[in-house]
């Protein structure tokens, strides 16, 4: 199995952990989605502190400023990610995380493939196309509510698909930047863009009220130290996942890497089922036998797809 596939799968595993934590934070009156997205972006500025350390440890990897055009594109891409997070957090607030993440996951590789084909004329091989199709089928089965032969649309479906389109746009732009600029240069500018995106959220008066007040939906100040530590842990985990995923994209196929997001569904499902049984008041997932069987079948499709591209 190629190294970039292993890195991508591990990054998606870490993203599964953050998805579970995100669901808890935005659904259990800890933070509103926009507040959570804002602080996620603000923390990204801390990445820039790593530039001097990297310059000393790896002189050959020293940050080099690209052209202003590429800098602007990378900064826009980073800001786009924060806006996308806001949409994604709103979607998982409305529905089960084990259903929303697959909808996003289906949308991301589909839109990534369409955008890559339209912009760069990047086509998949026959084997990769089969794997891609299996990932999409598996993702659909993971997300759909099927009862008595009827498919019910989940809450937040439109938001989840829109988030998938925005994530795909983000990854396609990132892939282009990696072909023009060095990995470290792009990654650092993306973090600056993320910080800029979080600042732009302050243009809305309602956002400023929510963010600076640090209020939850019941207008109580967040004082729970456990929640604060959970937030920090989530952001560190998300940072590591973002770094690994960006590196995988820089050396691998962006369409396949985004299709591998299907592995995240499996991790989310396992965690969600366990937590729903252990902590039912905090995590609300359907764990009936029929639902589990449907999702296991979906995982089989995903596993076959992974085998085909390994």
Q: What is the pLDDT of residues 229-270, one digit of tens each?
A: 777 788 788 878 888 888 888 888 776 776 677 677 778 777
Alpha carbon distance 234, 277 (integer Å): 22
56 or 72, which is more confident: 72
Closest to 11 (Cα-Cα) out of 246, 194, 176, 185: 246
50 or 40, which is more confident: 40
Average pLDDT over residues 59-77: 82
Model confidence at 152, pLDDT cuts 50, 70, 90, reads: low
Per-residue pLDDT tens for 8-34?
889 989 988 887 887 777 765 556 888
Instruction: Read off the tokens for 8.
Output: 């991508």
Question: Which pLDDT value is given to residue 76?
Answer: 95
Instruction: Read off the tokens for 143.
Output: 């997300």
Alpha carbon distance 259, 137 (integer Å): 11
Question: Which pLDDT value is given to residue 281?
Answer: 61
Average pLDDT over residues 55-59: 62
CA atoms within 13 A on the CB side of 122: 17
**In terms of residue numbers, what domain contains 54?**
3-309
Instruction: Read off the tokens for 66.
Output: 């690209």
Residue with tokens 């029929």: 290
Model confidence at 165, pLDDT cuts 50, 70, 90, reads: very high
Average pLDDT over residues 276-302: 70
CA atoms within 13 A on the CB side of 150: 5
Q: Into how many domains does the chain fold?
A: 1
Question: Which pLDDT value is given to residue 222?
Answer: 45
pTM for this predicted structure: 0.72
Average pLDDT over residues 196-203: 92
Alpha carbon distance 35, 53 (integer Å): 30
Residue with tokens 């992974």: 306
Compute the Cα dihedral for 139, 142, 145, 150 and give only its sign: positive
């Amino acid at each position: 199995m190629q190294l970039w596939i292993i890195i991508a799968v591990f990054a998606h595993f870490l993203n599964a952990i953050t998805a579970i934590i995100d669901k808890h934070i935005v659904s259990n009156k800890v933070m509103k989605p926009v507040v959570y997205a804002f602080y996620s972006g603000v923390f990204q500025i801390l990445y820039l502190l790593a530039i001097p350390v990297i310059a000393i440890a790896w002189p050959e990897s020293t940050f080099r400023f690209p052209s202003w055009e590429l800098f602007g594109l990378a900064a826009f891409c980073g800001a786009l990610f924060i806006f996308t997070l806001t949409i994604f957090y709103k979607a998982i607030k409305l529905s089960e995380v084990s259903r929303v993440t697959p909808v996003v996951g289906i949308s991301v590789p589909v839109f990534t493939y369409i955008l890559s084909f339209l912009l760069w004329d990047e086509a998949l091989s026959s084997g990769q196309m089969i794997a891609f199709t299996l990932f999409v089928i598996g993702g659909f089965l993971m997300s759909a509510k099927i009862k008595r032969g009827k498919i019910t649309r989940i809450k937040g479906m439109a938001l989840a698909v829109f988030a998938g389109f925005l994530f795909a746009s983000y990854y396609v732009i990132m892939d282009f930047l990696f072909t023009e600029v060095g990995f470290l240069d792009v990654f650092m500018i993306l973090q600056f863009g993320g910080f800029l995106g979080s600042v732009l959220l302050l243009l809305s008066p309602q956002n400023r009220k929510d963010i600076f007040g640090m209020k939850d939906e019941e207008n109580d100040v967040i004082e729970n130290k456990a929640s604060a530590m959970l937030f920090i842990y989530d952001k560190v985990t998300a940072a590591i996942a973002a770094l690994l995923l960006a590196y995988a994209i820089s050396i691998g196929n962006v369409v396949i890497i985004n299709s591998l997001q299907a592995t995240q569904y499996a991790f989310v499902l396992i965690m969600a089922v366990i937590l729903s049984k252990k902590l039912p008041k905090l995590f609300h997932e359907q764990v009936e036998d029929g639902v589990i069987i449907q999702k296991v079948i979906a995982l089989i499709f995903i596993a076959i797809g992974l085998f085909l591209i390994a």
